[in-house]
Chains A and B, each alone.
Chain A
Amino acid sequence: MPKAKRNQLKNRAIIALLFTCILGFGAGAYGLVNVGLINGEKYKLKAESQQLSDTTVTALRGTIYDANMNVLAQSADAWKIWINPSKISSDEDRQTIAQELSTVLELDYDTVLEKCSRSDYAYVLIKSQVDYDSKTQIIEFRQSHKGYNQIIGTEEDVKRYYPYGKFASSVLGFTGSDDVGLSGLEYFYNDTLTGTQGRLVTAKNAKQIKMSSDYSAYYEAETGLNLQLTIDQVIQYYLDTALEEAVTLNNANYGYGIIMDVETGAILAMSTKPDFDANDPYKVADEVKATELEAIEDPDEKSKATSEARYSQWRNRSICDSYEPGSVYKCITAAAGLEEGVVTPDEMFNCTGSYEVLDRTFHCSHRAGHGVEDFTTSMMNSCNPIFIEVAQRLGADTFYKYFEAFGFAEKTGIDLPAESTPVADVTYHSRKRLNAVAMASSSFGQTFQASPIQIITAINAIANDGKLMQPYVVGSMLDSEGNKVFETKPIQKRQVISKETADILKVMMEKVVSGGTAKNAYVPGYRVAGKTGTSQKLTIGENIYIASFCGFAPADNPRISALIVVDEPKNGSITGGSVAGPVAAEVITNVMKYLNVEPQYTDDELAKLDVKTAKAVGKTVAEAKKELESTGFTVKVIGNGDTVAKQVPAAGQTLPKNGLVVLYTDKDAEPQTVIVPDLTGLTVAEANNTAIACGLNIRRVGYTSAANVTAYKQNVDSGSDAQMGTVITVSFRTEINEED
């Protein structure tokens, strides 16, 4: 080959090589620029998703404790059970799976079978928040059947436990399936309770298997903060029990109540009855309502009614509802009158039974009039005309000033959701529209509305020497180690009246309980002060009432304020004094004992106190009989022996002065039983005599000082058997017929 030709070939080869190099490197360079710069983010994400496994670590929701660190709500891991119906190939498999899942998960077979039949779907949730035992059973079932691994699946879930079910459920609220608070404190403090989710990022190898911990990064989840409430489990229990009984006894629609710490405004108990089980909030807890819902045939109507029933049972009526406070508001009118010096406790008035303001005539609940009485007595009698007179003396400006100062024109600011918002000229009269007539009706708590929390906060200000406090439910927040990260400091909103005026009012309100319309709230030894209220629900109908009592104890050194509201009592009594008063007495007695407040009896109260039974066991029958009879007891001896072997009631128990003590001379003698009589409707003396005649004793609870006092409930059902000498607790009350 000639040299020139060889050189030409060589040059061509070099050019071809250069071209190939340029093309190759150019393509490579372009690829690098494209991957690194132009579409860098996209490829980065793709690479990360291919090479990294990113798992969210769920943060556990904080726990809710009561004031004494008893758990009221706590979260724990649970599981979701799902199926892939597209992988179910035969009807036999479908039925087998539906049968097993419905049995283990306690679900309706037909519903599960229908879910199994959705062959177009790859994921159908069967049940969430399944516990460990059920999940294990389902996994065992899955493993025992070939091919079911691809059909039945489980995934992690969280479940919120409320150990005491209905306990304070309207305050605590509940969470949804995604562990998000939907109502009550769970909703209000959702962000605080939720915490921060964590992440586990792990490298994956070519086979998509997670690599060792050297190639992983773990960002720990932060558990939500725990809440320590001011609610005390024991006080809440007393309130719950008393309200539940009151709703049943009075055939009422609802009962709601609040117990507040006087000094701080902390809520010690808050209850709405009927309520719901927070573990199963979608179930209508009221059995009567549930039966009514079951009877509805039209599916749309049924769905709508069920939804309404659920919303109704979730409602915290102590916060969300408002009503006309009625005569309870007279305390505020009196406070304004005394503070402004337009009236004194001893000033004499004449109640003629009515009072005219412009063209309107307002009547007293006692139509004939109370006659001449001082201001304190007018409060004891809940005399409307006198309070209208005080309001007229104050004038609209001053009257409205105190209305506002006591917090009736604003929210209390309690840390609970959906607090009722006062709206000027809708729920109350604005200053502009507060004319003489509106002021007259407002002076005794009519024609405006207030929420229960507003009312107790205002009355609490009187108990707290005139200091209006902001109510609160959460006392502190704790981290997962139990360290306090936040503590609620009591907030005094303002001084609404002077301490001197508050002291005068305390005395007046105590007299309302000891001798006025709130007699049924009287508790011997504990100086209860308060005011009853009976208001009509005029928006619904004429003879529909709300009975209430709001007060505090002990009157001289108040520790707690209490509000009891019975909504639409339908069992005869409708007044606050008859319906709400006894409930308040029961709750206050229990709470005072629980708070270790020493009872201080007056001489009168001491004289009426029951007597302790002496120890008779071991003594001769004659000696024991003599000793017991000398203290006023009736003695019944069973057996022929000489020495007392057993006594019922036991030594130390208190009985009315003519109570019955049964002495057994044979320790192994069969206890004598008697049938418990019906004592309701009887006076104190009648109930005591009837019980003794049957071989039983009574323990008197409630107001027993007046002649017209009658028993309204007993703790042992009539007709049941009881051992001779047993003490039956009988509750008494006096009927307050006038709307108080």
Chain B
Amino acid sequence: MAYANRTEAVDMRKSNQYGSAAPKRAPQTAPKHAAPRPKVVKKTKAELRAEERRSASKAIKALAICAVFFTFIAFQIFSQVKVDELDRQIDSVNSEIEVVESENTRLSMEIDSTISLDKVDSYAQNVLGMVKVENYQVSYIDLSGGDAVIQSGGKVHQSLWETIKMYF
């Protein structure tokens, strides 16, 4: 009963058997390349069910492909948005670095200007009461002789040959 209302494959030309209200025309010659008449094949219920399953499966596959495709597109768009966002962040951080570096230079220059030699000299003498170094406070060491190591007494390491020579 489930298939009682199914639409059967119908040859519509059969409907002409009941005639028409329109005036009859002279029979026309069939076109040279007229489409072949479709064959009417009667399918069994099982075949029809299988066919239905196949088409449902196809639809699901198509849907899945579409879903994958759209997900891929969505990921692409999302990743592009993310890349753009990160690019903007990188630009922003680079700008910040530049500003901070410039500020660092400016502040370093300001610090340097506060510790210029004339200011240090003036502060040392006038505030701290320091005096400039005198010659007598400096000891000069002559290093023109080069470096030398004086070994204190102890066991002298001799080579094997020297040890043998000692016996002769």
Contacts and interface: CB of A to CB of B under 8 A. Distances in A.
A78 B136 contact: no
B85 to A, nearest CB: 9
Nearest to A244: B118
Contact of B102 (A76, A237, A241, A612): A76
Given A77-B98, A161-B109, A593 B116 contact: no
B99 A212 contact: no
Given A163-B116, A593-B133, A132 B106 contact: yes
A598 B117 contact: no
A212 B80 contact: yes
B46 to A, nearest CB: 54
A216 B11 CA distance: 65
Contact of B117 (A159, A212, A233): A233
Nearest to A234: B117
A248 interface: no
A76 B106 contact: yes
Nearest to A213: B87
A132 B100 CA distance: 9
B96 to A, nearest CB: 11
A101 B102 CA distance: 22
A254 interface: no
Contacts of B110: 163
B99 A77 contact: yes
B105 A161 contact: yes
A214 B83 contact: yes
Nearest to A214: B83
A652 B137 contact: yes
Interface in B74-116: 80, 83-84, 87, 90, 98-99, 101-103, 105-106, 108-110, 112-113, 116
B98 A654 contact: no
Interface in A71-89: 71, 74-78
Interface string B131-168: 10111111010000000000000000000000000000
Contacts of B106: 76, 131-132, 159, 161
Nearest to B110: A163
B101 A76 contact: yes
Contacts of B87: 212-213
Interface residues of A, number: 35
Interface string A467-488: 0000000000000000000000
Contacts of B117: 164, 233-234, 237
A727 interface: yes
A652 B137 CA distance: 8
A164 B83 contact: no
A55 to B, nearest CB: 11
Contacts of B118: 237, 240-241
A165 interface: yes
Interface string A224-241: 000000000110010011
A195 interface: no
Given A213-B87, A652-B137, A727-B131, A164 B102 contact: no
Interface string A447-459: 0000000000000
A237 B118 CA distance: 8
A525 interface: yes
A163 B140 contact: no
Contacts of A167: 116
B116 A132 contact: no
Nearest to A726: B129
A667 B138 CA distance: 29
Q: Most chain-A CB neighbours within 10 Å: which of B103, B105, B108, B110?
A: B105
Contact of B136 (A165, A241, A612, A715): A612
A653 B131 CA distance: 10
A599 interface: yes
Contacts of B134: 653-654
10 contacts: A71-B108, A75-B105, A76-B105, A161-B109, A163-B116, A211-B84, A212-B83, A234-B117, A237-B118, A598-B140
Q: 3 closest pairs, A vs B, by CB?
A: A163-B112, A76-B105, A77-B102
Given A76-B109, A593-B138, A653-B131, 18 more contacts: A71-B109, A76-B101, A76-B103, A77-B102, A131-B106, A132-B102, A132-B106, A161-B106, A161-B109, A164-B113, A167-B116, A237-B118, A240-B118, A525-B135, A593-B133, A593-B135, A596-B140, A727-B131
Interface of A: 71, 74-78, 131-132, 159, 161-165, 167, 211-214, 233-234, 237, 240-241, 525, 593, 596, 598-599, 612, 652-654, 715, 727
